[in-house]
Amino acid sequence: MTMNMETLIIPLVTDEQQKLADETWRKSIPAQVFLNYFFAINYHIQEADDASGGLQHLPFFRAHQAELTDDDLAAVTKLLHACWSTEYALRSTAELGDEDYLRNALHWTFPQAYHTIMAGLQAFLHTAGVRGNNPSLVRREVGRLVVRNAYPRPVSFYAAGAYGDFSIHRLPLAGYKAGLHIAGKEIDAQAQIGQFLRTTRKLKATATRQQVQANANTAIRSQKTGKVLDKWTAAHWQQITWRLGYTTLFDLLGRLRISQTSREIERFIEADIDFKLFHQSLLNIVSYLNGIHETYVAKAMGLERYQQLVAELPKHLQHSFVEDRLRTRVQPTITGEAPLPQMGIAA
């Protein structure tokens, strides 16, 4: 009796297991793409962050100064305390949690990453004469600052233009096709950031159109019938472009504001992705941007006064990442001197 050799092969994975694995991967794609985006931003920051592209070389930074009243200083201090306490909470989650904990922690770590950066940004804006916490105001003003080169090269990229005709600036490799893999080269990182900018600006354009067309006073209408238009041409999109402002890294960070009751956050939690890598990427981006804003604030209020502010921090922030950034980034950028030796500071 002869037997076909194929009948002797025992499959290591059953059809049902393979289907389940394929379904898990399919469900993980949106979360993997999101991870790719933030890993790419962090990768680009690390690759492009060199001495020649630092804050100290920017004319905008060198010219930055402010006359701050006691009320201004109190407002800036309050914003910085909110920024640092939120970063402290974000760091605690990332440092203490295992993979499963970090997976479920996305409910609060996403908004924490967003809010710590926004609080630091508002402190910086306050020293630049922009007061108020209206999200549209903050978004518009930081967009202008990015375009005016107030930020170092790694985070100075932005998108502009009307729907269907977006242009990416200060990311020369952004036109390449983005892959579904973690960036391993600068071309991968810029391609993924470029895609993130385009999709985010597309969402903003679509939401703005809905808002404009829902308002009888602003809706674009047919010249023949006077009815609100359902279909738009390129010329109609052009008419609302001014409402979009610029799309910057801060708009990308806004995508982190996902409600804990949202179905989208559940898709992240159920996904098969590297949650530790996701949190580490977020932490690096947070630290980089908060350091920029802290340096602007320190320059505006005076380094000595800023050092005093850090020395008087609440107990949970004493001898922490705040003091470490003051020593390694804020003070050297302002004084042009090498960082002071570390004295038992926990980063």
Burial (CB < 10 A; 0-12, 13-18, 19+), residue 265, is: middle
- The answer to whether the beta carbons of residues 311 and 320 sit under 8 Å apart is no
Which amino acid, one-letter code, is at 219?
Answer: A
Confidence of residue 345 (pLDDT cuts 50, 70, 90): very low
When pLDDT is averaged across residues 10-24 and rounded to a whole number, the result is 51
pLDDT value at residue 172: 96
With left for phi above 0 and alpha for psi between -120 and 50, is residue 89 left, alpha or beta?
alpha
Least trusted range by pLDDT, from 134-143, 144-153, 252-261: 252-261
Query: Distance of CA 146 to CAs 23, 161, 168, 246, Å?
Result: 41, 16, 13, 9
Q: Are 146 and 252 in contact (CB under 8 A)?
A: no
Beta carbons within 10 angstroms of residue 319's beta carbon: 13
In the structure, what pLDDT confidence band is assigned to residue 224 with cuts at 50, 70 and 90?
confident
In tens, the pLDDT along 67-106 reads 999 999 999 999 999 999 999 999 998 777 778 888 888 8
Residues of the chain with pLDDT > 70: what percent?
86
Four-residue CA torsion sign, 255, 258, 262, 266: positive
pLDDT value at residue 143 = 97
87-to-53, 80, 110, 285 alpha-carbon distances in Å: 25, 10, 12, 11
pLDDT grade for 339, boundaries at 50, 70 and 90: confident
Average pLDDT in the 63-67 region?
Answer: 95
Burial class for 44, CB neighbours closer than 10 Å (0-12, 13-18, 19+): buried
